Chains A and B, each alone.
Chain A
Amino acid sequence: MSEILVLVDHVDGAVRKTTAELLTLARRLGEPCAVFIGPGIDSARDALKRYGAERVYVLDSSDLSDYLVAPKVEALAQLMASRSPATVLIPSGAEGKEIAGRLAIRTESGLITDAIDVELGEGGLVTRQSVFAGSYTVIANVTRGTPIVTVKPNSVTAEAVEGAAVEEAVDVAVSDAAKTARIVERQPRASSGRPELTEAAIVVSGGRGTAGNFEPVEAFADSLGAAVGASRAAVDSGWYPHSYQVGQTGKTVSPQLYVAAGISGAIQHRAGMQTSKTIVAVNKDSEAPIFELVDFGVVGDLHAILPAATEKINARKG
């Protein structure tokens, strides 16, 4: 069976949920093989095995992590040459797309970004993408080289299947040209204690309607075990950090439940959340376009409704 390479998304060995999802997808297509780059394989090993990696290619060279994507592109290109995988899966996201873009040109391979599903059709790999703020689905395939596909988080439910996880060390040479851009400082983001926005099963976002007070949004999110997001209007007003922005120029989320509180639902916001499974909105303006999308909506003031709902949910949990 052909190998399917999965680029592992991790922070110092803490494997992110997207990797488990990609390994699950890879199993449908062939033999899932993880590509682990950077320090921390000891912490990552169990997770990769649990989600079905049959092989784990390891490039554990911490001095390379200063050089952005170049070593990762080089490592993947080498593995594509030596292992002839049927497909390469990479998590969608700023870094993933950058790696994929360079890799596609270097290996003369077709690239599909932001896939929401990947399956084997009659003529090979077939992908689905959600475009134009979720109003169309594009079905496509790769016609040249080895298909390289970046996959959106939450596109599949990760399934635990024990893999052999046979390890093999990989070595790469990084060209001097690639070393001319380097990370001189790295400030890890302070943890909010909540789930990561793009990975969360439930997201509660606040917008202009919060008037700068995110307390009701955060408390409601915590009662549901949800991540907190924000609209561009809220971020531009300085009410919430940009890293929590949901929408075209922020994060794209696709959770089981998305709650929009005080968000009107402009097209730019919808582009970031329209593929959510269930959508709920609370907004004072009954004419707000967000209500066209909802499964359930409440016309009213979030400052009254969210705290009352939080109290009821917490009471249920006893």
Chain B
Amino acid sequence: MKVAVCVKYVPDATAQRTFSSDGTVDRGAVDGLLSELDEYAVEEALKMRDSSDAEVVVVTMGPEAARTAILKSLQMGADAGVHVLDDAIHGSDAVGTSLVLAKALERLEPDVVLCGMASTDGSMSVVPAMLAERMGLPQVTFASEVTVDGTTVRVRRDGDTATETIEANMPLLLSVTDQANEPRYPSFKGIMAAKKKPVETLTLADLGVGVDEVGADAAWTKVIAVEGRPPRSAGTVVTNDGGTGAEQLVGFLAGERFV
């Protein structure tokens, strides 16, 4: 069995993230890392390998530094990595991203494609659905619990109005939430072993994707402007001295007509 995990290199969410003049996320301005939500996808793949003889390959696209995301996944225990590295990719939207990833994934012929629930930067959550559509795979997204039985995958999904149990057969695309598991930390042994694991670097030409099919110019959407939101004007903060906190709170709510 082969499990392919899509991972993304994102700017650290706890840092001051900004945009470049071309309307793209400024990835050089702050340190990047493996998107926290993708760690759950890597962990789920490793769990599948622990219970069978699966091979786990992580796939990413992005600048040179995106290799960091692959390395972290390899340290956690993934077997190999694929890095699509090409200057033409810069500025791609979800449509372009899904095209490149789909081509890279098809070469691997995976039984399961695993994704996180969203990236921590763009947070659109649509790339998994787009990949499934492009690859002609059934998709089971936002899984909070995954059980594998032979080639059948059963997941629990906690929706807005109901909890559902969904069954699907391989090959399929699966995305997992942060409820699905507890990602392991790389061990010292894992960190040492990762250095020797194979990482294949591919260009768009290797994948048969034209440079005119990706990037900002090929995007089906366009950012017209990015506006910094004015910081919220400082509000009133009172202390609960003499137990007047509740009274002041209700006074504020009444003034704003909430009570």
Contact = CB atoms under 8 A, between A and B. Distances in A.
Given A101-B127, A135-B228, A297 B238 contact: yes
Contacts of B240: 298-301, 304-305
B59 interface: no
B98 interface: yes
A116 to B, nearest CB: 11
Given A138-B223, A242-B144, A296 B164 contact: no
A94 interface: yes
Contacts of A108: 220
Interface string B97-137: 01000000000000000000110110111111110111010
B103 to A, nearest CB: 14
Interface residues of A, number: 92
Contacts of A257: 253, 256, 258
B165 interface: yes
Interface string B207-251: 000000000000111111111110010011111100101111110
Interface string B177-197: 111000000000000000000
Given A102-B130, A187-B162, A297-B236, A135 B144 contact: no
Contact of B222 (A99, A102, A140, A293): A140
Contacts of A313: 250, 253, 259
Contacts of B128: 98, 101
Contacts of B130: 101-102, 104-105
A243 interface: yes
A177 B235 contact: no
Interface stretch (B13-21, B60-68, B74-82): B13-21
A122 to B, nearest CB: 11
Interface stretch (B1-9, B50-58, B84-92, B166-174): B166-174
B148 to A, nearest CB: 14
Most chain B CB atoms below 10 A, which of A105, A126, A136, A286: A105
Contact of A183 (B133, B164, B222): B164
B225 A139 contact: yes
A127 B59 CA distance: 31
Contacts of A282: 245, 249
Contact of A181 (B19, B139, B159, B220): B139
Interface in A87-130: 93-95, 97-102, 104-106, 108-114, 126, 130
Given A110-B220, A137-B229, A139-B223, 15 more contacts: A94-B125, A101-B127, A102-B129, A105-B133, A108-B220, A110-B221, A113-B124, A178-B138, A187-B163, A198-B160, A279-B235, A294-B235, A296-B235, A298-B240, A304-B245
Interface of A: 11, 68-69, 73, 93-95, 97-102, 104-106, 108-114, 126, 130-145, 177-178, 180-189, 196, 198, 202, 223-224, 242-243, 248-249, 256-257, 267-268, 271, 278-280, 282, 286, 291-301, 304-306, 308-309, 311-313, 316-317
Interface of B: 13-14, 17, 19, 23, 37, 93-95, 98, 117-118, 120-121, 123-130, 132-134, 136, 138-142, 144, 154, 158-169, 172, 177-179, 219-229, 232, 235-240, 243, 245-250, 252-254, 256, 258-259
